Structure 1
Amino acid sequence: MAGSTDRAAGLTIQEMARRSGFTEPTLRYYEKIGLLGRVARDESSGHRRYDPATADRVEALACLRSAGMTVSGMRRYLDLLARGDSAAAEQRDLFAAQAEKLAADIERLQLRLAYLRGKADLWDARVRGDAAAEKRAIEDVTRVMDQFND
């Protein structure tokens, strides 16, 4: 039952870092700039202890950050969250805009993936001495590269 005791006492910064994917310096920074609010401290050691509510907030921020949201976007989210349902339309707009940005990022990544696969195909064709496959691979890579400029 040590896990439930630890949970009741709060997560250490190391545990919170492992759980969220943030580094310890990032967690300290987010606390310093007010994204986390005040993080409780262990009375005997002074070490940070992340209570369940703060841990939930950190995990929500980790999801937003992994989706590419900036610190200012996360701050905006938290400000709107504090306003409750009266800010629902603004929350919708914030998330819709971030979803569009993420979709554009994914599209760029898909182009890079197609480029890498095309280059692998080209070199594979050269290894095999298959001139026709090499020509197709060059055409494919050229097509992908043209899309980078669009």
Structure 2
Amino acid sequence: MEDMLTIQEMSRRSGFSEATLRYYERIGLLGAVDRDSASGHRRYDGGVVERVEALACLRSSGMSIDGMRTYVRLLGEGEAAGELRDLFAEQAGHLAAELDRLRVRLEYLQLKAQLWDARSRDDTAAEAETVREVQEVVRAF
């Protein structure tokens, strides 16, 4: 048990809160988590640590709990390369769409900053051009 991580150590390493780690264990995402025989505290072995790190990557990509459940299920079934490919391709598509939405929001904010800069300089031509550009971006929302 010496080389196993406590829940606090696992939380720091993964970025998940202790409550999230307990929840993931409860819903079956982590599999069996060993317990210290004396204290009953959770102890995370190498396999569970790897699973938590993989889930942290999936979560940071925006994958849902259902998506993570599918990932864990498919890993357990083995021979699921095609289904895993589809899962990751679908998530990549979701992330690409979110990046597009963020780019539009970024452009909007940059243009609004330009607009107020033009107004602060009393540059009516630059202000009018920026208003036109802002209107184009707003249509993209």
Question: Shorter chain as normaliser: what TM range?
Answer: over 0.9
- How many Å separate the matches in 1 of 2:46 and 2:84? 24
- How many Å separate the matches in 1 of 2:82 and 2:48? 25
Name the counterpart of 1:75.
Answer: 69
In structure 1, stretches of 5+ residues that fail to align are: none
Q: Does 1:116 align with 2:96?
A: no
- How many Å separate the matches in 2 of 1:113 and 1:79? 37
Q: Does 1:38 align with 2:32?
A: yes
TM-score normalised by the chain length of structure 1: 0.88
What does 1:1-150 correspond to in 2, within 5 Å? 8=3, 10-84=4-78, 86-148=79-141
- How many Å separate the matches in 1 of 2:47 and 2:111? 47
| Runs of 4+, deviation exceeding 6 Å | none
Aligned length: 141
Q: Deviation of residue 11 (structure 1)?
A: 1.4
In structure 2, stretches of 5+ residues that fail to align are: none
Which secondary structure state, in structure 1, belongs to the residue aligned with residue 80 of structure 2?
helix
Q: Deviation of residue 44 (structure 1)?
A: 2.5
Looking at secondary structure, tell me which structure has more helix per residue: 1
CA-to-partner distance for each residue in 1:76-127, whole Å, 9 max, x for gaps? 111111122x211111111111111110011111111111111111112112
Which secondary structure state, in structure 1, belongs to the residue aligned with residue 37 of structure 2?
coil
TM-score normalised by the chain length of structure 2: 0.93
Percent same amino acid among aligned pairs? Answer: 61
